[in-house]
Chain A
Amino acid sequence: MSVSPISDADLHAYADGQLDRARLAEVEAALARDPSLALQVDEIRRQNALLRQATEAWLEEPIPQRLIDAATAKAGGWQRVRPALPYAAAAAMLVVGMSIGWFARDAQLERTGTPTTFARQAALTHVLYATDVNRPVEVWAAEEKRLATWLTRRLGFAVHAPDLNSAGFALVGGRLVAGNEKPTALFMYEDGAKHRLTLQVRKQAEGTRETAFRYAVEDGVGVFYWIDDACGYALSGNFDRAQLLSIARLVYGQLAAAEVTAK
């Protein structure tokens, strides 16, 4: 067996998206040659995704007052909140207020056990990731094939990212998100002006009936959703209804075409 020039550190850096450009091609070539290396990368990414998923909901818990006091140095004693800083204080309170409102509603939903509707869940998830500048997706479009393979494995049925270039949207990448009943695949797209669009796909619970396109606005985010062949689809973004609908039709058409080819 020949000695591989790829180091352990290279693999971790690659899986974490931290490998410098110069080394990228070499590592990718090695991965293509050696499936055992690719397996290691997959495993690291699987762990990363699970860890994030396992801890994600903690981010949305309401912040205890004592921590807000500590952050605003109320309890610190080095100063009282100075009247010279009304703007900062107001801004802080606004952030807190908005966050608490947001978290509280989520907590309410969880407590009462009200099932979050598909559209609502899709909109919340869309907002969560589409606004993330640095890490909107888990796997970038550069690795589209691997993305599809991974999501297919995790969802238990074949998924791939539809091509929306004809509508002016390029694939950013995708990730796995926790759904209400089943894990959900999320694909993110972006237009020239960096406006983001997400398509979420998941298996519906047994006995869910097919539905035609439905439209909902959740927290200002437009969502087109439909259920087809036991799979639920939701297309979300801050676009007007007509624009979303035309993209939804495009997605639907491509999925239908893929289905026909597969049969």
Chain B
Amino acid sequence: MSDPGLPQPELIAAIPRLRRYARVLTGEATRADDLVQETLARAWEKRRLWTVGSDLRAWLFTIMHNVFVNQRASARREAQNVSLDDEDSAIDVPVRATQMVRVELQEMLREVAKLPPEQREVLLLAAVEELRYEEIATVLAIPVGTVMSRLSRARERMRRAAFGPAENVTPFKAVR
């Protein structure tokens, strides 16, 4: 009976957010659910590493990040020539928003899909999952400074994409 286990209701409650994150990360629904499933299985395997009372969600994101990175690495080994970052992986905006808004949202997700995965992760964790920068650093096992520079690059890319190359966009100066 010394097995600590994991709080199942909390685990289940975390699923929608894990799926959302995985969905944007992988750009595809089935692959996203595979990633979530693998993450949950790994969480049970490594349950002894979770400290009771600590943030379960952040810990799950950490596991998901590791699974994601490993999957990408093995996919690269298997198919050297196939790029995982298919530019056209259009992510479907869930039905809900109005027609006009949907176009804007669709565009947004398409741009997110074009970001390098490491920038995509930071952007999602900060903007959508609203994790603190320090938590993101822990989840991704990188220094906070790196979190900030990736976040900054991701947002700058999104901004440029949103306003389009046609307009004369003055680049924001990187203030130090």
User: How many chain A residues have a CB neighbour from B under 8 Å?
Assistant: 61
Q: State which of B70-78, B80-88, B90-98 sits at the interface with chain A.
A: B90-98
Q: Which residues of A contact B141 (CB under 8 A)?
A: none
| A96 CA to B10 CA, complexed, in Å | 11
Q: Which residue of B lies closest to A183 (CB)?
A: B101
B8 close to A88 (CB less than 8 A): yes
Partner of A44, one of B16, B33, B155: B155
| A228 CA to B24 CA, complexed, in Å | 40
| A221 CA to B174 CA, complexed, in Å | 47
A59 close to B95 (CB less than 8 A): no
B interface: dominant SS: helix
User: If A48-B127, A54-B108, A54-B109 touch, does A72 touch B17 (CB 8 Å cutoff)?
Assistant: no
A54 close to B16 (CB less than 8 A): no
| A47 CA to B130 CA, complexed, in Å | 13
Partner of B9, one of A50, A56, A64, A92: A92
B16 close to A59 (CB less than 8 A): yes
Partner of A55, one of B9, B23, B104, B126: B23
Q: Does A70 reach chain B (CB closer than 8 Å)?
A: yes
Q: Does B19 reach chain A (CB closer than 8 Å)?
A: yes
Q: Which residues of A contact B98 (CB under 8 A)?
A: 178-183
A51 close to B127 (CB less than 8 A): yes
Q: Does B66 reach chain A (CB closer than 8 Å)?
A: no
B155 close to A78 (CB less than 8 A): no
Rounded to whole Å, the gap between the CB of B134 and the closest CB of chain A is 9
Rounded to whole Å, the gap between the CB of B81 and the closest CB of chain A is 31
| A54 CA to B96 CA, complexed, in Å | 9
In residues 47-105 of chain A, which contact B (Cβ within 8 Å)? Answer: 47-48, 50-61, 63-64, 66-68, 70-73, 75-76, 78-79, 84-85, 88-89, 91-92, 95-96, 99
Partner of A59, one of B1, B17, B155: B17
B44 close to A76 (CB less than 8 A): yes
In residues 117-176 of chain B, which contact A (Cβ within 8 Å)? Answer: 123-124, 126-128, 130, 132-133, 148, 151-152, 155, 158-159, 162, 172, 174-176
Q: Does A218 reach chain B (CB closer than 8 Å)?
A: no
Q: Which residues of B contact A73 (CB under 8 A)?
A: 6, 8, 44
Partner of A67, one of B24, B37, B101, B133: B37
Partner of B94, one of A3, A37, A61: A61
Q: Which residues of A contact B133 (CB under 8 A)?
A: 13, 16, 18
User: If A67-B37, A70-B40, A181-B98 touch, does A61 touch B19 (CB 8 Å cutoff)?
Assistant: yes
| A53 CA to B24 CA, complexed, in Å | 13
* Given A47-B155, A50-B104, 18 more pairs with CB closer than 8 A: A7-B176, A8-B152, A8-B174, A13-B133, A47-B127, A51-B108, A57-B94, A58-B16, A58-B23, A59-B16, A59-B17, A66-B37, A67-B37, A70-B41, A70-B44, A71-B40, A178-B98, A182-B98
What are 17 residue pairs bridging A and B, where the CB atoms are less than 8 Å apart in the complex?
A3-B176, A12-B126, A12-B152, A16-B126, A47-B108, A48-B127, A50-B108, A54-B109, A55-B128, A56-B96, A66-B33, A71-B11, A71-B12, A78-B45, A92-B8, A95-B13, A96-B12
Residues of B within 8 A of A (CB): 1, 3, 5-9, 11-13, 15-17, 19-20, 23-24, 33, 36-37, 40-41, 44-45, 93-98, 101, 104-106, 108-109, 112, 123-124, 126-128, 130, 132-133, 148, 151-152, 155, 158-159, 162, 172, 174-176
